Structure 1
Amino acid sequence: MNKNNFAPLPPMGWNSYDYYDTTVTEDAVKANADYMAAHLKEFGWEYIVVDIEWYAIGAGSMRNQFQYIPFADVAMDEFSRLQPDPARFPSSADGTGFTHLADYIHSLGLKFGIHIMRGIPRTAAHNHCKIKGSNVTADMVANPSSICGWNPDMYGVRDTEAGQAYYDSLMELYASWGVDFIKCDDICNTNIYPANPYSARHEIEMLAKAIARCGRPIVLSLSPGPALIEHAWHYETYANMWRITDDFWDKWDLLKDMFHRCELWQNHVAKGCYPDCDMLPLGWLGKGFGHEWYTNFTPEEQHTMLTLWCLFGSPLMLGCELTKLDDATLALLTNRDVLSMLTPDCKPHQVCLDDEKAIWCAYNAVTDEHFAAFFNLSDETQTIHCDIETLHVDDEPCAHKDASLTELWSKEKTSVSGSAISVTPPAHGCLVFRVEN
């Protein structure tokens, strides 16, 4: 398992991608941070993450043709390290990078994160730029046969002493800015290479080593997925969280499929190590993609998503425009009872899964709390029956005869009837209970 203690709980926060794509600005980041500090922080939400291409000049200006403009100009320092685009992040114009924005986020009692692409800028390699702490230039560190299939900005980094010096200098810079969280992309699954989809494993190790040397606790998140279960030990050793899915959006088939992914990874959730179900596509989304829309998830599906993420132990990252959050979504995100399941102390177990239903239970040995969740995966309201003998985590039974049940969304109380539980969740919805034996 990861030896650091940077993420004792699954990280909770906001990421700019689902709403802004590549177009987020400093003012927008501050506005979302202000909202989080005022309305969400007390419930555990604390990270503000600037997602992809904050360094790209003119990002988003050709969105009808390209998500990522091919070989666009980038802001970069003399040591091959990308810098914020000063047009979108004006406080960086003095050469201090994200320092002023990070200071602002920290002043609100929040934490600051950034997205990076694996590797070294292609333009640095083409121009033989310097690497801090090394006499070797970027062209000698870059591996031109290691690229990202969907983003044109970077080359992979060779597993050499100079390559490590580059990553060390990068983490040194981010630490000086006050970065608390890094989402590194094109590294969890390098799926452009089907014969070697884990071709960047050495770069994960180099990143982890550089973070350990930088003197600042920086949470390391790996994207995109799906993560490779056969390399679970490697993710757990070197990262704090890793994506178990490709980009997750507000489509029922993607949410339904997540039950299979969570089943695969349920035994790999531990303190500091979190399989990541990806962002929560709630509220208003998509403005940077060319059209703004309100989430397609129904209220029932939203309950299902948040219940599964919390019960499973996934990090929670919002992608919406927080300043447009409606009361119903805010209530969803501030349900203390549901959020109380989001701890590695709460061990989850999927009891059953078929095309019509899923049943999960969980046990928190620290608080001696038991939970049971019943998910209706069908398109009609249905009654789900469950023998209480099947509800257990390892050897710990989760329910006994005549146990009382409190539903965590509605707060309604019921009890076990004999040796079984029968509940009737709505279509695509769920009921999740705290069990008091």
Structure 2
Amino acid sequence: MALLIPALLVTPGASAGESSSAPDAGAALAVTSAEADTGSGGDFNSRPYLGWSSWSLQATQYPGVNPQGRFSWLNEENLLAQIDVLAEDLSQHGYEYVNIDAGWWMDWDWNPGYDRFARQTTDLDRFPSGMEYIADYVHDRGLKLGVYLPVGLEMGAYNNGESPIHGAPGCTTADIVYDDLRPTNGFGETGSAYAMDFSDPCSQRYLESLVDMFDEWDVDLLKLDGVGPGSRRDPAVDGENYNNIPDVAAWHEALRGEDIHLLVSWAMDRDYLADWQAYTDSWRVGGDVECYCETMTSWRASNQSIRATGNWIGAAGPETGWNNLDSLNVGVGEMDGLTEEERRTVFTFWALAASPLYLGDDLTRLDDFGRSLITNDEVIGINQLGIPAQRVGEASPIQVWYLERPDGSLVVGLFNLSEAAADVAVSWDELGLSGSAQLRDVWADEDLGAHEDGFSANIGAHGSQLITVTPSGR
């Protein structure tokens, strides 16, 4: 089912708890379920999802975050603390997914664990209460659970081909891979898994056995990672075993009838858009936003997602799926590695792009500025329209993106991605408008009055401005 977010029925200047039945033309457009579900028939994926993901905290080298070595942040105590903040503070703004990324089946030394059916098992040192307890904890708080898997059969799960497949008598891991044990996926020089042979029905049964396990936890999202073409794998160069479209199609079939969002990652190949649209709910458009350094991200890492999105214009929407720009690390200034202007620019762009909005920060450490960004219901409402913005003109450090709302008004983002302050201008001609238009600065919550012909602003390096444009004519 589509999420209806009461907090979006808010006029500028009102708090999240104050609603208005008659917002003015320049106010945030209230997102109703009817508007959000257009063309989707009420499908659960009719809007970009909102939530939180663990990987940015696992990946950072910020002092004290991963005290037991790389990726060690992920454990039961840390995860429950994030769930509590999400449920008690951020769910009222629409954030509902808790995405547990890589490592939930790894010990502290990153050694994997599997059950006798070659399925990943929760590491009980990390999660003493087990995944079923975590899943219940998530759902009891009205949230949704996301989990992570790499594409292919993990090499450690092969077990000399002797592991039986759950619910598939006669099938073993020897049946679901090629005899030559060819590697696949985007991890390491040769990948971290064996390519699966979907000409054998046992392979499909193996994926179905994983879905059976997910059903025990009521999983709501699956991130399938290291998928090619993409993830720095080109089948024409690396070999056809790095083409994971058969895997993705098989996962699509295994998940048929399940309300489980399927995300494929990372930096997917645009040439295969039709496949991502046919088999998935969202696809990563660029590399990781994490810098794998002493902060969460960097301007360079975050900006690459902005640059990459230009190649995916026209790809996304409620009927096809979502361009996924990766995690948002904009909530904790000391850790994010971004200036306040950069943090606002990143959140603005993700919102305009109709990307899923999932936070990567430690939610227990949000600063006032970060909280003001991620709880701005008007900006979240722009994202939840599910209308990906279009770019005016070609790619350059000075960019203008816009979308048209159902009431005929426009939302326009002006971006200065360069290293120095610059004027950023847009003419009404470029937006298909004529005459004058009433403008409003969304972040400043300030009316800018009527403007003839266009608008221009001097914007600092890596900065942005988000405005609504209510035209008098077209």
Same fold (TM over 0.5): yes
Q: 1:19 aligned to 2:57?
A: yes
Q: 1:371 aligned to 2:407?
A: no
Tell me the equivalent position of 1:62. none
Q: Secondary structure, in 3 states, of the residue corresponding to 1:179? A: coil
Tell me the equivalent position of 1:184. 224
Q: 1:354 to 1:211 in 2, by over 3 A?
A: closer
Whole-angstrom CA distance in 1 between matches of 2:157 and 2:298: 39
Q: Secondary structure, in 3 states, of the residue corresponding to 1:220? A: strand
Q: 1:281 aligned to 2:329?
A: yes
Whole-angstrom CA distance in 1 between matches of 2:176 and 2:258: 25
**Runs of 5+ unmatched residues, structure 2:** 1-38, 60-70, 291-296
Tell me the equivalent position of 1:331. 372
How many residues are paired up?
403
Deviation at residue 416 of structure 1 after TM alignment:
4.4
Deviation at residue 275 of structure 1 after TM alignment:
1.2
Q: 1:81 aligned to 2:141?
A: no
Q: 1:309 to 1:420 in 2, by over 3 A?
A: same
Q: 1:104 aligned to 2:130?
A: no
Deviates more, 1:248-257 or 1:14-23: 248-257
One-letter identity of the residue aligned with 1:88? R
Deviates more, 1:40-49 or 1:248-257: 248-257
**Runs of 5+ unmatched residues, structure 1:** 60-68, 93-97, 286-292
Deviation at residue 193 of structure 1 after TM alignment:
4.7
Deviation at residue 190 of structure 1 after TM alignment:
4.8
Asked if the contact 2:331–2:374 (Cα under 8 Å) also holds between the matched residues in 1, the reply is no
Q: State how 1:89-100 maps to structure 2 within 5 Å.
A: 89-92=127-130, 98-100=131-133
Of 87, 90, 96, 1:37 maps to 87
Deviation at residue 168 of structure 1 after TM alignment:
0.7
Deviation at residue 335 of structure 1 after TM alignment:
0.9
Tell me the equivalent position of 2:172. 137
Whole-angstrom CA distance in 2 between matches of 1:307 and 1:352: 19
Asked if the contact 1:2–1:237 (Cα under 8 Å) also holds between the matched residues in 2, the reply is no
Q: 1:284 to 1:84 in 2, by over 3 A?
A: farther
Tell me the equivalent position of 1:66. none
Of 97, 106, 128, 1:47 maps to 97
Q: State how 1:178-217 maps to structure 2 within 5 Å.
A: 178-188=218-228, 189-193=230-234, 195=236, 199-212=243-256, 215-217=257-259
Tell me the equivalent position of 1:413. 447
Q: 1:230 to 1:29 in 2, by over 3 A?
A: same
Give per-residue Cα distances to partners, 1:67-119, cap 9 Å, x unaligned: xx4xx3x3222211111001111112xxxxx2221111111111011111112
Asked if the contact 1:118–1:184 (Cα under 8 Å) also holds between the matched residues in 2, the reply is yes
Deviation at residue 339 of structure 1 after TM alignment:
1.2
Q: 1:297 aligned to 2:345?
A: no
* Runs of 4+, deviation exceeding 6 Å: 1-4
Whole-angstrom CA distance in 1 between matches of 2:183 and 2:326: 25
Tell me the equivalent position of 1:271. 318
Tell me the equivalent position of 1:290. none
Q: Percent identity?
A: 25
Deviation at residue 145 of structure 1 after TM alignment:
1.0
Give per-residue Cα distances to partners, 1:313-355, cap 9 Å, x unaligned: 1111211111111111011101112111113542421003454
One-letter identity of the residue aligned with 2:243? S
Q: Secondary structure, in 3 states, of the residue corresponding to 1:204? A: helix
One-letter identity of the residue aligned with 2:265? S
Q: State how 1:162-173 maps to structure 2 within 5 Å.
A: 162-173=202-213
Q: 1:116 aligned to 2:149?
A: yes
Tell me the equivalent position of 1:436. 470
Whole-angstrom CA distance in 2 between matches of 1:109 and 1:424: 44
RMSD: 2.3
Deviation at residue 15 of structure 1 after TM alignment:
0.7
Deviation at residue 154 of structure 1 after TM alignment:
2.9
Q: State how 1:211-226 maps to structure 2 within 5 Å.
A: 211-212=255-256, 215-225=257-267
Q: 1:207 to 1:434 in 2, by over 3 A?
A: same
Asked if the contact 2:354–2:386 (Cα under 8 Å) also holds between the matched residues in 1, the reply is no
Whole-angstrom CA distance in 2 between matches of 1:7 and 1:435: 28
What's the TM-score, normalizing by structure 2?
0.80
What's the TM-score, normalizing by structure 1?
0.86
Q: 1:150 aligned to 2:187?
A: yes
Whole-angstrom CA distance in 2 between matches of 1:383 and 1:172: 55
Deviates more, 1:190-199 or 1:41-50: 190-199
